[in-house]
Structure 1
Amino acid sequence: MTRIEDLIDAFRPAEGPPPQTLGPFFRWVLKGAMPVLAVAAVLSAATGTLEVLSAILLGMVIDSALNSTPEVYFSTNTTTLLLLLGFFLVLRPILFGANSLTNAVVVMPNINPLVLTRLHRWTLGQAVTFFDDDFAGRIAQKQLQTSRAVTDIVSEIINVGFFALASLVGSALLLTTINGWMAVGLGLWLVIYLLMIRWFMPRIRVRSQARAGARAMVTGQIVDTVTNIKTVKLFAHADYEEGAALGAVKSFREKTLAYGYISGMFRFCLMSLAGVLPVFLIGATLYLWSLGAATPGDIAAAGAIAIRIAQMTGWVSHTLMAIYAAIGEVEDGMRTLTPPHALTDRPGATALPADASRIAFEDVSFSYGRRTGGVEAISLVIEPGEKIGIVGASGAGKSTLVALLLRLYDTEGGRVTIGGQDIRDVTQESLRQQIGMVTQETAMFNRSASENILYGRPDATEDEMIAAAKRAEAHGFILGLKDHKGRTGYDAHLGERGVKLSGGQRQRIALARAILKDAPILVLDEATSALDSEVEASIQEALERVMDGKTVMAIAHRLSTIARMDRIVVLDDGHIVEQGTHAELLEQGGVYARFWQRQSGGFIGVQEAAE
């Protein structure tokens, strides 16, 4: 039996890409939850009719009291009194309680994670350029903002929209039983009310959208500063960063003030209109009573309805403002989060075979959409089990080759194949599962050391994980770790982006991760650049064991790390200018030989290399 809190599957994946227009977008994020939301709406509408029933019962009690005497009132009006007791002590609490439970247990706790996980899943599928072009904090803010706004809209429409609509319809029907013209008057008032909403709400929506965008920029600016706090302090730029933050906050304040002015004007106009309704309904009922066309109970019922609707007007107007403000935030989030994926799997893409390891760059060109930079007409074959080093000055195209191999970008000309298959014809997931990588800019999660290593193969055993750490010369320093919460060793958290570790420690954990992954293709992008000579020497033998039997691409400025490779490829300005063994290239006396002669401390002098 499904529990009430599980009536909506909060983690059900979405179908297809998110639409970029409002209505279809709501259907996309809420698909699967609509039947339950419909039941919640009906329950809310039923609760709204209780307001009208309250007024009817009040009128019945007053009329029965006026038509009776105190001595016999209770004995002659038992049915009316029992209805009153049953309504207020049984029906009303049950319906209100069920409505509240539905909102608090079924709707709110499930809609937010449903929307958030769908947006997050879509965002994770974006190409790296999507993240390169934006603030990390801003993207996260947009996901949280949009999921919260959608949840607020759904909750308010159900709990206020359907409740108020049922109350208004019931009120109109009740007034019709007193006098048809009073119902017409209520209808006319409602038309004016809706026209006022129609004028104000689009303006509120636009200003809310601008406010949401400004708020996200504040978040992005602050997160960007905090993420790079060491750089800020090293360059003594606290004042500069404060100025940048103040600029974003000032813009947010201006957008908030603009929203405040329009919302304040709306509330004033709406409350003025709300004051007209009790005057009209009570006055009209008194007039009809004076003509003998209404009873005192009718006056009481009309008065109760008028006052309740007037009160509800303020409540509904506040809710409508919140809904339209939330719609503005949803639209703002949609602009950031719903662009189509720039890199997608082709229809019918298959998994890359697990033993595929022959790499071929076939007349490959890529320049990041610019006229210069990247690589041009590169043809290079790396046989299974072959280990090649890639050398070149900064900007020569080394990292571009790696990015194309991983299909972080699609080639602009030519193709990349693994095992004879164009990598565009296989799934991105299977492609990257076949490649282990250690980079110069080592990425660490603010999680435990063990979790960071297990990222290479989450199903590995603890013994396998520790063995990988030992092979990467990381086991010793990991045992000495301790974080601010007292967690030690492999359980210690590493801080955001691994800030609690030295560069060499981060690279050794990244190396352990790649060792644990044990992929047939291994890419080393300056994998030992942060290690001192002693540590590098201690893990060089381990690295060679890890490379055994694998197809290896190793990028390095420190030429000593690649001198023993099977082949060295020299890039210059996006072209292959030399290739051969270390000895062969030295004998040629070309670009590589100059790199070897002019390097200082084992590194290529970038300016000299460019000569």
Structure 2
Amino acid sequence: MFSWFEKRVNPYPDSPAAQPPKGFFPFVWSATAGMRPLIAGMIVLTASIGAFEALLFSMLGSVVDWLSHASPSTLWQQEREKLLLLFAILMTSPLLVALQAMCKYQGLFGNFPMRLRWNYHRHLLGQSMHFYQDEFSGRVSAKVMQTALAVRDTVMIVCDILVFVVIYFITMTAVVGSFDLVLLLPFLGWLVLYIATLAFFVPRLGKAASRQADARSLMAGRITDAYTNISTIKLFSHAQREAGFAKSAMQEFMLTVHGQMRLVSGFEVINHLTSMLLIASTAGVSLWLWTQGNVGIGAVAAATAMALRLNGISHWIMWEMSSLFEHIGTVQDGINTLARPVAINDQSGAQPLNVTHGEVRFENVGFAYGGERKVIDQLTLTIRPGEKIGLVGRSGAGKSTIVNLLLRFYDVEQGRILIDGQDIRTVTQDSLRAQVGMVTQDTSLLHRSVRDNLLYGRPDAGDEEMVSAAQRAEAHDFIQSLSDPKQRTGYDAHVGERGVKLSGGQRQRIAIARVMLKDAPILLLDEATSALDSEVEAAIQGSLYRLMEGKTVVAIAHRLSTIAAMDRLVVLDQGHIVEQGTHNQLLAQKGLYARLWAHQSGGFLGEEAGEDESTVAT
């Protein structure tokens, strides 16, 4: 039975993850997709349990009345049928509770948030690079985890607890009214006071919870950011500075906690006062009606017991309503991140990119990162199939931006980019990037095994192909010497977060091996050998040249000697192409490239004296 209920919800649906709606109610409603039949079943069972519990007091009141009118020797003979019916009714309640628990805990409690995490995570994986540049990674992951739980708890409170309370109160009112309508007055008076209390405190608690959720995610983001950049923190001896940076976020969080707890304390005191007034007034009215002969002893016992039960329920409702608005605040905070539209989308009907030759063409391309100053301005460039070009220019000239546009990390704001005549905006992003291999200066590895990182280039590759790529990248020898704290060695050793356990040169060689294994027809090299020492660079230079054979290559390097042998060098300045040609041709022109070459220090590209460096990031 447990397994049957656990399989009613698929926590990992195969259907594409849709962008969540921005409104609160549409957001929560969309989150219940795939689980609504089970939620409806839980609501019906919860309502039945609530009605049963209220009717139970009426039954017990009847028992008291039977005891007051019958002697011990005659009770069974006089009330046998009613006692058997009461026993049968009592025995059905465990079945209702069991079914409700199966729906709630086996079917929904674990599957509900996991399904949301799965969908939110897939949606966020499709977000643009710009999205992640504006967010803490720790903050984003906290939103995924917190919002999934908050949505589940919001639905549970509304569909389970509030349904129980409403049905219980309606049934209880009917039972008390059947004794004498005057007995309803204490309950109705308490209800008015209780609703007024909720109306005052709960919205304020909701606003406090929303502020707290935002402060919590900021605190988590700052702490995670410190751990992610621990090497930089230690390099500059800023552990205390980072502790202070996190402390300021913690202090902001504690301010929200203190404000929330003040409201909770006030709510607790007033709620207890109204509960005591309910018990006293119910006992007083029921006793007065009994003295008047309007109700029996059973009604006095049942009404007083219901008042006592409401005392407990009111505290329960208070905490659940406070939790509800805390969850609502967390959900609303999460909506701001999770419901943000994806900036870079595949067009409807987008087809896979078909690379037959590898020609890349930029036609009148303009791009400004959404600002006014254009980083790329009316750039037109054709890279012939199999041609190897080097992009040259000072910082801010637009070199890396060209690479980002070609990978469609950003969409061009003017013009278009074509590969073998296909506009890259009309093909699927996955197929575009599958046809492009790239090695960057800042190599980031996954916190997994060396094998997993290498096979990221081509997951279906065999061990022999993987090892061959590592050997060509001069990485095989050092990989065999690796080990980790769990005694995993060689290709099974884990490299740490972002590859922190490896040197920069080792990370770079694994990245090069990964691209070699991918063997894509278009190759991008952005400072591909910058982290390598001269000896290792010289050792793998031949492998890189073999890797470039038959491919269309775009290379960026500040060390001009590494790209001087390219078929063509394209010199950029402030987003424009100012010179093109081979190394010798450009030196003969005595233009910008010749001046950059002359100003190199130690083989690296330096800034020209007297010229301002562009501050635009590339």
With normalisation by structure 2, the TM-score equals: 0.94
Shift of 1:543: 1.2
Shift of 1:184: 5.4
CA contact (8 A) 1:393 1:609 kept: no
Does residue 206 (structure 1) correspond to residue 207 (structure 2)? The answer is yes
Per mean C-alpha deviation after superposition, the further-off stretch among 385-394 and 65-74 is 65-74
Other-structure match for 1:219? 220
Runs of 4+ in 1 over 4 A off after TM superposition: 607-611
Shift of 1:14: 6.5
Distance, in Å, in 2 between the alignment partners of 1:609 and 1:589 is 18
Distance 1:561 1:118, change over 3 A: same
Other-structure match for 2:128? 127
Deviation per residue, 1:420-476 (Å, 9 max, x gap): 122112222221111111110112111111111111222222332222222222221
Other-structure match for 2:108? 107
Secondary structure in 2 matching 1:77? helix
TM alignment of 1:315-326, pairs within 5 A: 315-326=316-327
Distance, in Å, in 1 between the alignment partners of 2:458 and 2:191 is 63
TM alignment of 1:443-482, pairs within 5 A: 443-482=444-483
Shift of 1:49: 2.1
Secondary structure in 2 matching 1:3? helix
Deviation per residue, 1:279-330 (Å, 9 max, x gap): 2333222222222221111112112211111210110111010001110111
Deviation per residue, 1:361-382 (Å, 9 max, x gap): 1111212233436222211101
CA contact (8 A) 1:393 1:610 kept: no
Other-structure match for 1:41? 43
CA contact (8 A) 1:447 1:495 kept: yes
Distance, in Å, in 2 between the alignment partners of 1:432 and 1:320 is 49
Structure 2 letter corresponding to 1:163: F
Distance, in Å, in 1 between the alignment partners of 2:429 and 2:167 is 52
Structure 2 letter corresponding to 1:453: L
Match of 1:67 among 48, 69, 75: 69
Distance, in Å, in 1 between the alignment partners of 2:138 and 2:435 is 31
Structure 2 letter corresponding to 1:383: R
Other-structure match for 1:293? 294
| Aligned-pair Cα RMSD in Å | 2.0
Structure 2 letter corresponding to 1:450: R
Deviation per residue, 1:480-532 (Å, 9 max, x gap): 11112221111111111111111111111111221222211111111111011
TM alignment of 1:80-159, pairs within 5 A: 80-88=82-90, 90-159=91-160
Other-structure match for 1:600? 601
In structure 1, stretches of 5+ residues that fail to align are none
Structure 2 letter corresponding to 1:136: S
Other-structure match for 1:380? 381
With normalisation by structure 1, the TM-score equals: 0.95
Deviation per residue, 1:379-426 (Å, 9 max, x gap): 110111111111122221110100110111122222111111221122
Other-structure match for 1:303? 304
CA contact (8 A) 1:214 1:248 kept: yes
Structure 2 letter corresponding to 1:52: A
Shift of 1:111: 0.9
Other-structure match for 1:233? 234
Secondary structure in 2 matching 1:10? coil
CA contact (8 A) 2:286 2:300 kept: yes
Deviation per residue, 1:7-63 (Å, 9 max, x gap): 122223466421111101111222221121111111112222232132122112212
Secondary structure in 2 matching 1:201? helix
Structure 1 letter corresponding to 2:48: A
Other-structure match for 2:391? 390
Secondary structure in 1 matching 2:532? coil
Shift of 1:610: 5.5
Distance, in Å, in 2 between the alignment partners of 1:313 and 1:319 is 10
Other-structure match for 2:580? 579
Secondary structure in 2 matching 1:606? coil
Taking every aligned residue pair, what percent have the same amino acid on both sides?
Answer: 44
Structure 2 letter corresponding to 1:581: T
Secondary structure in 1 matching 2:99? helix
CA contact (8 A) 1:207 1:259 kept: yes
Other-structure match for 2:59? 57
Matched pairs, number = 610
Per mean C-alpha deviation after superposition, the further-off stretch among 471-480 and 68-77 is 68-77
Distance 1:158 1:355, change over 3 A: same
Secondary structure in 1 matching 2:386? coil
Distance, in Å, in 2 between the alignment partners of 1:273 and 1:459 is 68
Distance 1:3 1:464, change over 3 A: farther
TM alignment of 1:237-252, pairs within 5 A: 237-252=238-253
Shift of 1:596: 3.3
Shift of 1:250: 0.8
Structure 1 letter corresponding to 2:577: I
Deviation per residue, 1:242-263 (Å, 9 max, x gap): 2111111111111111111122
Distance, in Å, in 2 between the alignment partners of 1:14 and 1:297 is 60
CA contact (8 A) 1:521 1:552 kept: yes
